[in-house]
């Protein structure tokens, strides 16, 4: 990733933490979740870690890279002090391990590979019937070789998300074009 874009994304996400109240311990869990604070925090950690790595590895800038990685550790400490993240086990291992598993599966043991005897019954059902699912998926693919059904379903399910054909028009809109030209002057599509 481009270092300039990474730094700008880091700055914007960091600002969004404060503006949304994501750094305020008094923010209710419902409001914290509604404002997408868990994701905002994880993006800040991601950008800090990736920018720090890029500065160290690609730019050989030990001072700036180390500063970003130390800031990631500080942000992680701030995260852990918030009620929403207080019991998140993934945060105990450092910024690069932050993930949403603890949000949805707080009591699950997050092993890279689970022994079969620890699988929930639904996982055993899925494995036992994988051949049925595979056959159905292959039949769907064969029935729709031109991806027409997939395209139609995608259009119906993405009411609020731009479809691939809409991105070029969105990117070239008068409101977005100046920002994108500042970030990527040679790569902006015109619709």
The single residue listed with the structure tokens 């994988």 is 130
Q: Are 65 and 53 in contact (CB under 8 A)?
A: yes
pLDDT by residue for the chain (191 residues), tens digit each?
689 999 999 999 999 999 999 999 999 999 999 999 999 999 999 999 999 999 999 999 999 999 999 999 999 999 999 999 998 888 888 887 788 888 877 777 665 567 788 788 888 898 899 999 989 988 888 888 877 777 777 667 655 555 555 555 544 555 555 555 555 444 444 43
- Round to whole Å and give the CA distance between 52 and 3: 10
143: CB partners within 8 A, 6+ apart: 149
């Amino acid at each position: 990733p481009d270092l300039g874009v990474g730094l700008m994304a880091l700055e914007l996400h960091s600002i969004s933490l404060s503006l949304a109240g994501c750094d305020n311990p008094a923010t209710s869990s419902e409001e914290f979740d509604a404002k997408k604070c868990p994701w905002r925090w994880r993006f800040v950690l991601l950008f800090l870690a990736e920018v720090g790595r890029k500065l160290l590895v690609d730019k050989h800038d030990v001072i700036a890279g180390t500063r970003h990685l130390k800031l990631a550790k500080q942000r992680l400490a701030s995260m852990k002090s918030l009620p929403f993240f207080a019991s998140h086990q993934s945060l105990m291992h450092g910024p690069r391990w932050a993930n949403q598993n603890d949000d949805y599966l707080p009591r699950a043991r997050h092993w890279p590979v689970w022994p079969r005897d620890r699988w929930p019954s639904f996982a055993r059902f899925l494995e036992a019937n994988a051949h049925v699912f595979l056959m159905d998926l292959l039949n769907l693919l064969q029935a729709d070789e031109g991806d027409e059904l997939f395209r139609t379903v995608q259009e119906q399910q993405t009411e609020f998300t731009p479809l691939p054909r809409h991105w070029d028009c969105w990117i070239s809109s008068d409101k977005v074009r100046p920002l994108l030209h500042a970030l990527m002057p040679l790569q902006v599509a015109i619709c």
